[in-house]
């Protein structure tokens, strides 16, 4: 057993001052994550906000992990908001925490994600659309199709990546094929990648038509996607 009241400030101090190794604080972080003490949740929200404002992604990740451990699915909204704040890191640890939550009660998390996917805040909408890709259902197509026509290419690219499985959904397949003609190469790359995993014979021709794309990154993804199809006509 640990003293939760004393343990959280120790974690916060470690993340703020970085005067010791993670191995020294790891047992405390693990114990807090597993303690189930809901009285800590308001304090964790406060510390998370402080680390976000200080652009301290290490502290953000430590606190987010503890919050997810204690609050479970209820922490998803907070973690998605935190992820929408660009602190200049790759967000590997935070994304892993979010994905773990997305794998729990999928219908409950889907409702949370759908609520945020129509946000007026571009960063939050982008993050929610990314999360929707892990739980999307056929009825989410209209929302994703609208996002695939957004003026922001980052939103369009993420929407294409989160479409319901185009292997079985013709509407999603057609929307992704249409995105191969998007003016922004990031969107074309996302579309080519999705088509490569469909296994559909009708994905070969639209991909092949993009083989002479002006952008080398697109041509590279097209080659990879055609190889993934693994069909003799390729």
The structural domains of the chain, with segments of one domain joined by +, span 1-135, 141-234
User: Left (φ > 0), alpha (ψ -120 to 50) or beta: where does 230 sit?
Assistant: left
Per-residue pLDDT tens digits for 60-85 = 999 999 999 999 999 999 999 999 99
* Lowest-confidence region among 3-17, 46-60, 195-209: 3-17
Per-residue pLDDT tens digits for 119-137 = 999 999 999 999 999 999 9
Higher pLDDT: 178 or 19? It is 178
Name which of 198, 201, 79, 57 is nearest 131 in CA terms: 79
Higher pLDDT: 38 or 233? It is 38
pLDDT band at residue 231, thresholds of 50, 70 and 90?
low
Question: Could you tell me the pTM of the whole model?
Answer: 0.91
Architecture of the 141-234 domain: Alpha Horseshoe (1.25)
Residue 150: strand, helix, or coil: coil
How many Å separate Cα 138 from the centre of its chain? 19
- pLDDT recorded at residue 234: 58
The answer to whether the Cα torsion of 136, 142, 146, 148 is positive or negative is positive
């Amino acid at each position: 057993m640990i003293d939760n009241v004393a343990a959280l400030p120790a974690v916060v101090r470690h993340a703020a001052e970085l005067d010791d190794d993670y191995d020294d604080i790891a047992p405390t972080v693990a114990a807090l994550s597993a303690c189930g003490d809901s009285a800590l949740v308001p304090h964790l929200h406060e510390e998370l906000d402080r680390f976000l404002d200080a652009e301290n992604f290490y502290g953000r990740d430590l606190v987010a992990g503890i919050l997810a451990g204690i609050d479970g699915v209820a922490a998803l909204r907070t973690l998605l908001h935190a992820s929408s704040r660009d602190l200049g890191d790759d967000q590997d640890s935070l994304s892993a925490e979010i994905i773990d939550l997305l794998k729990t009660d999928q219908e409950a998390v889907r409702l949370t994600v759908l609520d945020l996917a129509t946000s007026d805040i571009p960063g939050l909408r982008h993050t929610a659309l990314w999360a929707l890709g892990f739980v999307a259902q056929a009825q989410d197509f209209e929302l994703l199709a609208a996002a695939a026509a957004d003026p922001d290419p980052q939103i369009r690219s993420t929407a294409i990546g989160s479409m319901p499985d185009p292997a079985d959904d013709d509407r999603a397949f057609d929307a992704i094929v249409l995105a191969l003609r998007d003016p922004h190469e990031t969107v074309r790359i996302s579309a080519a990648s999705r088509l490569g995993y469909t296994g559909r014979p009708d994905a070969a021709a639209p991909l092949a038509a993009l083989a002479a794309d002006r952008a080398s990154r697109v041509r590279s993804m097209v080659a990879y996607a055609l190889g993934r199809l693994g069909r003799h006509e390729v």
